[in-house]
Amino acid sequence: MNTNESRGYVLNGSTVLPLGSTPVPPRRPHDPRTVRRRIRFRFLGFLLTPVLLGAAIFIGTWMLSPPTRDLEILPGAAVISIDEQDVAIVVYADDSRPGIGEPMFQHRAAAIRLSDGETLWDQRLNDDLGGEAMALAGDSTLVYVASDEGLVILDAATGNIRAEGTGVSGIGSDAVLAASAYGYDLETNAVVALTGSGAVLQIPVGTQTATAADPDVASRWRGALSASAFLDTAALTTRVDAATGPDGTKVEIESIAEAVSRDALVITSPDGRTVSRTELVGAEIIPLTGPSSRQGVMLETGQFLEGDFDGIDLDDVEALLEAASAQASAGSAPATPAGFASGYVLVQHRESVNAERMLLSSVSVATGEIVDTVEMGTDALRAVTGSSGTTAVIAAAPESWQPDSLRVLDADGSLRPVEVGQVPWWVAPFG
């Protein structure tokens, strides 16, 4: 008799189990195919685990670190009022738009609410390489943008294109496909357009149909509009050494040591009292620049000469330049410092004599104190202000070499960054 503690004992060839025990099922013979299959699965798992882990790390990094954007904000921005809030209409060139099927080169217009930086819409205008575009005007219903595809009229709520180019009612096939052929007449609150036949038309803001311009409007704009491929934006991107607030407060840059670009920002009250004197390096005042019905003439080069040129042959470029220079020397209306309505002056300067990086600072008009300073990759492009008094500066991020973001001046004097060209997070990796 052979006994076994776990299996009982064998008696006359039969297995006898202890009382109350559970029979143990006989062990099944191993199937060679099953064994080989298990070995294969374990081997594949051993090989694939690091591959899958690496892929997960790569995808996670790809999703969380989208490619670097390459966009440039153009000078022609405007601030309009939508639902009683200041909304910046920003036009920009984008050479790195993420997304499947997106053109490599394109011009876009984006509506950005300045109070919180939210992008309300972002619409592609065209897929041209180079070219010009400028936001002209708008209201709560329509937005008007001049481009090298002609005038573009967009829905203010959605950004959808209502009409463009030869499809604009009242212009049709007579449309000039150049951004320089369109402007905004401040006095009549109307968009003006030069047609291929030489006529000047106007479109009241909020409407979509062009009609013949009033005689005064046509006279103001006939020499300023052209079919030139070049859009003169020099008047929008200027920086000044002196500016005057609406109440008569003067803001001036005085040179202390010209050889080392050391300056003083001097703020003088309307009664002539010096409020403050702040020393800076390479300082320039950023003025408010916006739409204006400028009197002048557009040269074939795309340069706009501002002034009164009655009695001068418009084909005599030398005479025009001499007259423009003489009128400029006679003086012009002082610039208004950007941010003044909020109690600040915006100044561009350098950190020190030996520093190359450019800084943007908000300076209190009341005390001359520098409230906030941010770094820029290059010169500030321009400042725009809405009817509610919100001011935004088109500037370059510290790591950028061209203007690609906004800096909004808040009530406390801080310069809040606002991104332009935002895309949803699930689109960003597809760059």
Q: Is residue 308 part of a domain?
A: yes
What is the H or E stretch that residue 32 is in?
helix 32-64
CA distance 405 to 421: 9
Same domain, 76 and 202: yes
Per residue of the chain (431 residues), what is the pLDDT tens digit? 444 444 555 556 566 666 665 665 666 666 677 767 777 767 677 777 777 777 777 566 555 555 566 899 999 999 999 988 999 999 999 887 766 667 778 899 999 999 999 999 999 998 877 789 999 999 999 999 999 999 999 999 999 999 999 999 999 999 999 999 999 999 899 999 999 999 999 999 999 999 999 999 998 898 889 898 788 787 788 899 999 999 999 999 999 999 999 999 999 999 999 999 999 999 999 999 876 545 556 566 555 555 556 666 666 667 766 766 665 554 455 789 999 999 999 999 999 999 888 999 999 999 999 999 999 999 999 999 998 889 999 999 998 989 999 999 999 999 999 999 877 555 545 54
Token output for 248: 């008569």
Same domain, 303 and 330: yes
Contacts of 389 (CB under 8 A, 6+ apart): 86, 341, 342
Same domain, 140 and 177: yes
Distance of CA 316 to the CA centre of its chain: 39
- Which three-class secondary structure state does DSSP give residue 153? strand
Same domain, 42 and 75: no
Q: Is residue 220 part of a domain?
A: yes
Q: Is residue 398 part of a domain?
A: yes
CA distances from 430 to 24, 90, 122, 172 (A): 61, 24, 18, 38
CA distance 286 to 240: 7
Question: Which 8-state DSSP code applies to residue 18?
Answer: P
Q: Is 32 exposed, middle or buried (0-12, 13-18, 19+ CB in 10 A)?
A: exposed
Q: Is residue 15 part of a domain?
A: yes
CA distances from 427 to 77, 98, 163, 192, 343 (A): 26, 6, 28, 38, 40
Q: Name the residue range of residue 162's domain.
A: 71-237+289-334+381-419
Q: Is 29 exposed, middle or buried (0-12, 13-18, 19+ CB in 10 A)?
A: exposed
Distance of CA 429 to the CA centre of its chain: 20
pLDDT of residue 13: 59
Same domain, 170 and 304: yes
- Of the candidates 322, 324, 350, the one whose C-alpha atom is nearest the C-alpha of residue 235 is 324
Point out the domain boundary residue: 49, 64, 79. 64
Dihedral angle of Cα 202, 205, 207, 209, to the nearest 10 degrees: 10
Domain count, the chain: 2
Contacts of 209 (CB under 8 A, 6+ apart): 169, 170, 203
Q: Is residue 365 part of a domain?
A: no
